[in-house]
Structures are given as C-alpha cells and as structure tokens.
Amino acid sequence: MATEYDYWKIFPRMPKKVSIGDITIRDGFQHEEKFISTRAKIFYGQEMILAGCRELEVTNMAHGTTPQFVDGAEVMKAMRSDEFAKRAARQGIDVFKDVCLTAVTIREPSVDLAIQWRKEGYGPDRILMMVSTDEEHHFANSGTTLPNYWKEAERCIKKARDAGMKMVGTVSTIWGSPIGGATKLEDAVEFTKRWFEIGAYDIEHADHDGSANAADVYRYCSMVLDAMPNPEAHLLHLHETKRVASSSILAALQAGFTRFEATFGGLGGQPANFLDDSPIRGTGEYYYDDPRYVGLICMEDLLVQIDELGIEHGYDVNRVLWLGRKMEKTIGRRLRSEAVINGRTLKEGHMKFARPGLPRVKEKLGEKKGAKLPEGWADEAVLPKEWGPADPIWKK
C-alpha cells in the first residue's frame, strides 16, 4: 500500500499558522535566584513585541511569594508607554490593539489589584488563575482547596469581565504531578469544561513538570478538541526536563493545537525560594534535585522548529536568536537553547567549509559539471528482484 507523503493530509487538523506567546519575563524570571533588573524586563518585553510577539506575559502580581516582580506596575506601564507606542507604530504595530498583555493573578487579592491597575490605565488585558488536577499540587501553589478555589475563580471571572479583562484558566498536572504522581487525562478535560462553564475566555493546558510525552500529548489535545473544537480557546504550556518537549509540540500540532508559549533559553519553573542573598517563601522546597532543568520549552528552538516545518508564526526568527544570545548575558550562564548556538538550517549551505578543487577534479576525470552518476547509467535506478538482505550472495 502506498504511503501518503503530505503531512497535512495525514494530520488534517494540523495548522498552517500558529501563535506563540512569550512568557520569559514572568515564568522565565520567576525561577531565577537573582533579581533581574526592571530595565532588563522592559527591554526584553518590548523587543519581543517588536520581533513579532502578540501575546506577552508581563508579571506575577503575588509579590509576597514572588518578590522578583515587585516592579510589575513599572514594567506593565512601559509596555504601553507613549515612547514605546511610537516606536512600535513605526513598525506597523499598535501596542493597544495588536498586543495582549497578561498578568498572573493566582488569588483574588491579585485580581483586585489587576482591576485597580486597569482603572489607573495600565492594567493587563488578560489575567490568569490556575487549578491542578492533583489537589496536593494545587494546594502547594494556591494555599487552598480545589472546591474553595473554584468558587473564588468564579467570582474573579465576573470581576474581570466587569473590568474589561479576559480570564485564562490554567489546568495543570495534566500528565502527572511532581507531588501526587500519576493523574488522569479525563480529569483535565473535565476541568477545562468547568473553566468555560464559569466564564473563562481561554484555557492554558499546562505540563508544569515535564511529565508529558508525545503519545499522551496527542491523545489529550485530541480529546480536548473533540470536546471543545475551537483551537483559539486552547493554549499549550510545556516544560522541558528530559529534552523531549519538542516531540510533544509536534504531537500537539498533529492534534490541531495552534497556540503555544515558551521562554528564552528554556528559563522558568517553580518560583524561586531564594533571591539575591536571602531565602524567600516561594512555593516551598524545589521539586527537583537540580533546579536548572525545569524550565519551559525554549523559545528559540521552538521558533526554528515551527519555521522549518513551514508553519507561519509571525516572528523575525533572526531577531529572536539575537535576543537569545543577549539573554544568556543577562542571566549570566549558558542557557538551554541549541538554536542560539547552531542557528537555522541555511538553505544556501556553508560554502566556506567546502574543500577546494572539486571543479578541477571533475574536469580532469572528464565528468560533466553537476553530474552525480557515471556516464551511461540510467536516469532512474532499477531494483533487482532480490536486493539487500534478500540477495542470495549475502546468505551464509
């Protein structure tokens, strides 16, 4: 039976266009044990908008557990300052209409603060609350039970709507929990429906500890789109602990997901419990022996992957790779992106590595320029009746 070679015929839900949000200056920086300057946060947020980002996660408003973001209001204001708006307009970007700014507001006091910022003219367009299907993980992140949190989230969605803000409901521990262990995909599908039932705008489907594998990601994303088939309503958030998240991205694309998010260099993860020279609360002890390897899928690598699949994404890839190299200086260490080192696959090749003299040798041998087969050979190969391992000549 002949094989179908067109990828999009094999996977008819697979998109030709995707959107990729950048959450570096929030999720990426929340795991860092040194304070990242306000100037750096503003620089990378603005530069990513100029590079093509249209969904930017700016800050976490729970400053008590994440003091990395005590400058959240200043960073938020800078994303829509007159100065930056004019700069973006020169590139045809309307920062008020084209860009969605998100702030994480895990609990109601943060939602109330976001509403206050909104009233003062610089609040987010979209805020985020989060449930985990593993209640132990949920309690570690939120400090309350799932039933109590659902009621709080319902109140907060109404408040957000009244203030003109969207609410993204995150579902976590879909593919497993670092605390409670194995989870059921069906629970996450049900939680997704619950978010929509109480009025959420969209859902972030999150693997916060790198538990996902490609087969289960394909299964889950297919289950979600079978039950709730608008891909604009769903966003995939994958962490990278075993260097397998790129296969999960491909599986999600095959299932029909069109929205993703990432961080520079694979930064991010569990909120830091140490900042500069002082221990802080965070969310308690780290789940991993080596907390360097718990961040999200790399923005640079993801963009190269999507770009080389021929899928439209809206970014200036070279500009993002340049920013990725700068990010390593900001953080002060080598990050996890391969693309910032090896770049993109260049269709024009790397002729500087060519061994000199090929044209001269071909001429000396009497071969035509560009010939790849001996003269007199047929244009197409003809397989013998018995070939390779089936050829009697190789049998003992």
pLDDT tens digits, 297-347 = 999 999 999 999 999 999 999 999 999 999 999 999 999 999 999 988 888
pLDDT confidence tier of residue 147, bands split at 50, 70 and 90: very high
pLDDT in tens, 199-245: 999 999 999 888 999 999 999 999 999 999 999 999 999 999 888 99
Mean pLDDT of 155-160: 98
Mean pLDDT of 4-30: 96
Q: Return the pLDDT at 262.
A: 98
Phi and psi torsions of 90, nearest 5°: -65, -20
Q: Which two tokens stand for residue 164?
A: 């003109």
Secondary structure (DSSP) of 60-103: ES-TTT-GGGTTHHHHHHHHT-HHHHHHHHTTT--TTTT-EEEE
Q: What percent of the chain has pLDDT over 90?
A: 88
Q: Which two tokens stand for residue 28?
A: 């990426």
Phi-psi region of 314 (alpha: psi -120 to 50; beta: other; left: phi over 0): left
pLDDT in tens, 44-61: 999 999 999 999 999 999
Q: What percent of the chain has pLDDT over 70?
A: 100
Residue 291 has pLDDT above 80, yes or no: no
Domains, in order of start, for the chain: 7-342 (3.20.20.70)
Query: Which residue is listed with tokens 């999200």?
Result: 296
Q: Return the pLDDT at 349.
A: 84
Residues in the chain: 396
Residue 193, number of CB atoms within 10 A of its CB: 13
pLDDT in tens, 333-369: 999 999 999 988 888 888 889 999 999 999 999 999 9
pLDDT confidence tier of residue 81, bands split at 50, 70 and 90: very high
Beta bridge partners of 262: 22
